[in-house]
A and B are shown apart, each in its own frame.
Chain A
Amino acid sequence: MPRFPPSLNSSLDLKSILQHLQILWYLFLMHLCLELCRIGLSKKAFEAFHIKDVWNWPWQLWNENWNLNIVHYIFQNLSLFVQVLNRRCVEAAVMTGLALNCRINKKSLFDRKHYFYADLPAGYQITQQRLPIAVNGSLVYSFCAGKNRSQVINKTARVKQIQLEQDSGKSLHDDLRSQTLIDLNRAGVGLLEVVLEPDMSCGEEAATAVRELQLILQALGTSQANMAEGQLRVDANISVHHPGEPLGVRTEVKNLNSARFLAKAIDYEIQRQINELENGGEILNETRSFDSKLGCTIPMRDKEGKQDYRFMPEPNLPPLLLYDTESLPAGADPQQVIDIDRIREQLPELPSVTREKLVQQYGMLPEHSFTLLNEVGLLEFFQNVMKETRAEPKKVTSWVLNTLLGFLKQQNLAVSESPVTPSALAELLNLLDRKAISSSAAKQVFEELWRNEGKTPAQIVSEKKLELMQDQEALEQLCHAVMEGHPQVVMDVKKGNPRAINKLIGLVRKATLSRADPTVIKEILEKKLAS
Chain B
Amino acid sequence: MQFDQSKCSVLKGFVTIKDGCAHVVPAAAVDLYFCSVSPGPCGGRLSTRTMLGRTLREVSAALKQGHITPTELCQKCLSIIKKTKFLNAYITVSEEVALKQAEESEKRYKKGHSLGDLDGIPIAVKDNFSTSGIETTCASNMLRGKGYVPPYNATVVQKLLDQGALLMGKTNLDEFAMGSGSTDGVFGPVKNPWSYSKQYREKRKQKSHCENEDSNWLITGGSSGGSAAAVSAFTCFAALGSDTGGSTRNPAAHCGLVGLKPSYGLVSRHGLIPLVNSMDVPGILTRCVDDAAIVLGVLAGHDPKDSTTIQDPVKPFVLPSLTDVSKLCIGIPKEYLTPELSSEVRSLWSKAANLFESEGAKVIEVSLPHTSYSIVCYHVLCTSEVASNMARFDGLEYGHRCDIDVSTEAMYAATRREGFNDVVRGRILSGNFFLLKENYENYFVKAQKVRRLIANDFVTVFNSGVDVLLTPTTLSEAVPYTEFIKEDNRTRSAQDDIFTQAANMAGLPAVSVPMALSNQGLPIGLQFIGRAFCDQELLTIAKWFEKQVQFPVIQLQELMDDCSSVFENEKLASVSLKQ
- Asked if B398 and A308 sit within 8 Å, CB to CB, the answer is no
- Say yes or no: A54 contacts B397, CB within 8 Å: yes
Docked complex Cα distance between A79 and B269 (Å): 13
Contact between chains at B152 and A315 (CB < 8 Å): no
Q: Are B394 and A123 in contact, with the CB atoms below 8 A?
A: yes
With A81-B271, A308-B437 given, is the CB distance from A122 to B308 under 8 Å? Answer: no
Chain B proximity mask over A50-87: 1 for CB below 8 Å, otherwise 0 = 01001100110010000000011001001111111100
Residue A318 lies at the interface, judged by CB distance under 8 Å to chain B: yes
Best-surrounded residue of A54, A62, A121, A315 (most CB of chain B within 10 A): A315
**8 Å CB interface, A96-152 against B:** 112, 114, 116, 118, 121-124
Instruction: Give the residue of A54, A72, A75 whose beta carbon is less than 8 angstroms from that of B396.
Output: A54
Q: How far is the CA of A512 from the CA of B305 in the complex (A)?
A: 77
Task: Count chain A CB atoms within 10 A of each CB in B408, B432, B440 and give the residue with the most.
Answer: B408
A310 and B435 form a contact (CB under 8 A): yes
**Residue interface bits A27-50, CB-to-B below 8 A is 1, else 0:** 000000000000000000000000
CA distance in complex: A83, B388 (Å): 14
The answer to whether the Cβ of B356 comes within 8 Å of any Cβ in the partner chain is no
A84/B391 contact (C-beta < 8 A), A116-B412, A312-B435 known? no
The docked-state distance in angstroms from the alpha carbon of A118 to that of B384 is 22
Task: Tell whether A82 pairs with B444 under 8 Å between CB atoms, given A54-B396, A118-B408, A124-B391.
Answer: no
Question: In whole angstroms, what is the CA distance A57 to B308 when docked?
Answer: 31
Q: Please indicate the chain A residues that have their CB under 8 angstroms from the CB of B435 in the complex.
A: 114, 310-312
- Chain A residues within an 8 Å CB radius of B273: 80-81
B136's closest neighbor in chain A, by CB? A80
Q: Say if the beta carbon of A172 comes within 8 Å of chain B.
A: no
Cβ contact within 8 Å between B388 and A124:
yes
- Answer whether residue B277 sits at the interface, using C-beta atoms and an 8 A cutoff: yes
Interface residue? A182 (CB, 8 A): yes
A interface, over-half SS = loop
User: Which residues of A sit under 8 angstroms from B436, Cβ to Cβ?
Assistant: 308, 310
Interface residues in B185-244 by Cβ distance below 8 A to A read: none
CB-based contact A316/B307 at 8 Å: yes
B311 at interface (Cβ–Cβ under 8 A)? yes
Contacting residues, chain B, for A124 (C-beta < 8 A): 388, 391
Contact of B392 among A54, A121, A180, A184 (CB under 8 A): A121
B305 touches A122 (CB 8 A): no
Q: B278 interface residue, CB < 8 Å from A?
A: yes
Q: Are A51 and B396 also in contact (CB < 8 A) when A71-B151, A82-B269, A315-B385 are?
A: yes
With A54-B397, A114-B388, A312-B444: A72-B152 Cβ-Cβ less than 8 Å: yes
Given contacts A81-B130, A84-B307, contact A123 B388 (CB under 8 A): yes
| A316: B residues at CB distance < 8 A | 277, 306-308
Asked if A327 is at the interface of the complex by the 8 Å CB criterion, the answer is: no
**Is A360 located at the chain interface by the 8 A CB criterion?**
no
Tell me how far the C-beta of B15 lies from the nearest C-beta in chain A, rounded to whole angstroms.
Answer: 43
Q: Inside 8 A of B444's CB, which chain A residues have their CB?
A: 312
CA distance A182 to B396 in the complex (A): 10
Indicate if B146 sits at the interface (CB-CB under 8 A): yes
Task: Tell me if B396 and A118 are in contact (CB < 8 A).
Answer: yes
A59 surroundings in chain B (CB, below 8 A): 149
Is B274 close to A, CB under 8 A?
yes
Partner of A75, one of B151, B306, B408: B151
In the complex, whether A317 has a CB less than 8 A from a CB of chain B is yes
**At the interface, yes or no: A336 with Cβ under 8 Å from chain B?**
yes
| Chain A residues with CB below 8 A from B393, complex form | 123
Nearest chain-B residue to A116 (Cβ)? B412
CB nearest neighbor in A for B432: A310
A contact residues around B401 at 8 Å (CB): 55
**Is A84 touching B277 in the complex (CB atoms < 8 A)?**
no
How distant is the Cα of A71 from the Cα of B130 in the complex, in angstroms?
15
* Chain B: minimal CB distance from A214 (Å): 32
Contacts of B152 in A (CB 8 A): 71-72, 75
Distance from A280 Cβ to chain B, minimum over Cβ atoms (Å): 33
A180 partner, pick from B308, B384, B408, beta carbons under 8 A: B408
> A80–B278 contact, CB under 8 A?
no
Q: Interface range on chain B: under 10, 10 to 19, 20 to 34, or 35 or more? A: 35 or more
**In this complex, which of B130, B307, B394 has the most chain A Cβ atoms within 10 angstroms of its Cβ?**
B307
Chain A neighbourhood of B274, CB < 8 A: 80-82
Which residue of chain A is the closest to B155 with respect to CB atoms?
A: A81
Report B387-423 CB contacts with A as 1/0, cut-off 8 Å.
1101111101110010000001100100000000000
Measured in the bound complex, the distance between the Cα atoms of B98 and A80 in whole Å is 25
Nearest residue, chain A, Cβ from B146: A55
Question: Considering residues B276, B305, B397, B432, which has the most beta carbons from chain A within 10 angstroms of its beta carbon?
Answer: B397
Q: Are A315 and B278 neighbours in the complex by a CB distance under 8 Å?
A: yes
Whether a CB of chain A sits under 8 angstroms from the CB of B316 is: no
In the complex, the answer to whether B150 meets A80 with C-beta atoms within 8 Å is yes
| In the complex, chain B residues whose CB is within 8 Å of the CB of A80 | 130, 150, 273-274, 392, 398
Cβ 8 A contact of A84, one of B304, B392, B432: B304
Assembled-state Cα–Cα distance A445/B278 (Å): 71
Are the CB atoms of A315 and B307 closer together than 8 Å? no
When the two chains form their complex, are residues B278 and A336 in contact, meaning their CB atoms are under 8 A apart? no
B270 within 8 A of A: yes
Chain A proximity of B128: nearest CB distance (Å): 10
Q: Please state if B307 and A317 are interface contacts (CB–CB under 8 Å).
A: yes
Q: Hey, what's the 0/1 contact readout for A295-332 against B, CB within 8 Å counting as 1?
A: 00000000000001011100111100000000000000
Contacting A at CB under 8 A, from B274-311, are 274, 276-278, 304-308, 311
Which A residue sits closest to B133, measured CB to CB?
Answer: A62
B270 contacts which of A82, A123, A180 (Cβ < 8 Å)?
Answer: A82
CB atoms of A85 and B392 under 8 A apart = no
Instruction: Pick the residue among A51, A78, A123, A182 that contacts B398 (CB under 8 A).
Output: A78
Residues of A within 8 A of B432 (CB): 310
**Which residues of A are found within 8 Å of B311, using beta-carbon distances?**
336
B130, A82: Cβ atoms under 8 Å? no
Contact: A55 with B396, CB < 8 Å? yes
**A82 interface neighbour in B151, B277, B398, Cβ under 8 Å:** B277
Give every chain B residue within 8 A of A308 (Cβ-Cβ).
436-437
Nearest CB of chain A from residue B443's CB, rounded to whole Å: 11
Chain A contacts for B305, CB-based, 8 A: 81-82, 84
A317 to B432, CA, bound (A): 21
Cα A54 to Cα B408 in complex, Å, equals 14
Output the least CB separation between B118 and chain A (Å).
24
| Complex alpha-carbon distance, A179 and B270, angstroms | 35
Chain A residues with CB under 8 Å of B408's CB are 51, 118, 180
Which chain A positions have C-beta within 8 A of B440? Answer: 310-311
A112 to B389 Cα, complex, angstroms: 10
Q: In the assembly, what is the distance between CA of A114 and CA of B440, in Å? A: 14
When distances are taken between beta carbons in the complex, the residues of chain A under 8 Å from B308 are 82, 315-316, 318
The residue in chain A whose Cβ has the minimal distance to the Cβ of B269 is A82
User: A184 to chain B: which residues have CB within 8 Å?
Assistant: 397
Contact with A along B429-462 (1 / 0, CB 8 A): 0001001110010001000000000000000000
B296 to chain A, nearest CB (A): 20
Judging by beta carbons under 8 Å apart, are A122 and B391 in contact? yes
- In the bound complex, how far is the Cα of B77 from the Cα of A73, in angstroms? 37
Does A82 contact B306, Cβ atoms closer than 8 Å?
Answer: yes
Instruction: Tell me, in angstroms, the Cα distance from A83 to B146 when the chains sit together.
Output: 24
Chain B: minimal CB distance from A212 (Å): 35
The reply to whether A123 and B130 form a contact with Cβ atoms under 8 Å apart is: no
Closest residue of chain A to B390, judged by CB?
A123
Q: With the chains together, A75 CA to B151 CA distance in Å?
A: 8
Which residues of B are found within 8 Å of A71, using beta-carbon distances? 151-152
Q: Does B397 lie within 8 Å of A121, measured CB to CB?
A: yes
The 8 A-B residue pairs with the shortest CB-CB distance, nearest first, are A123-B391, A315-B277, A310-B435, A315-B278, A78-B397, A122-B392, A123-B392, A62-B151
Identify 4 new A-B residue pairs, CB closer than 8 A, beyond the known A82-B277, A121-B392: A62-B151, A81-B130, A82-B274, A315-B308
A-B contact pairs, 23 of them (CB 8 A): A71-B152, A75-B150, A78-B397, A79-B392, A81-B130, A82-B274, A82-B305, A83-B307, A84-B304, A84-B306, A84-B307, A112-B388, A116-B412, A118-B396, A123-B390, A124-B388, A182-B396, A310-B432, A310-B437, A311-B435, A311-B440, A312-B384, A316-B308
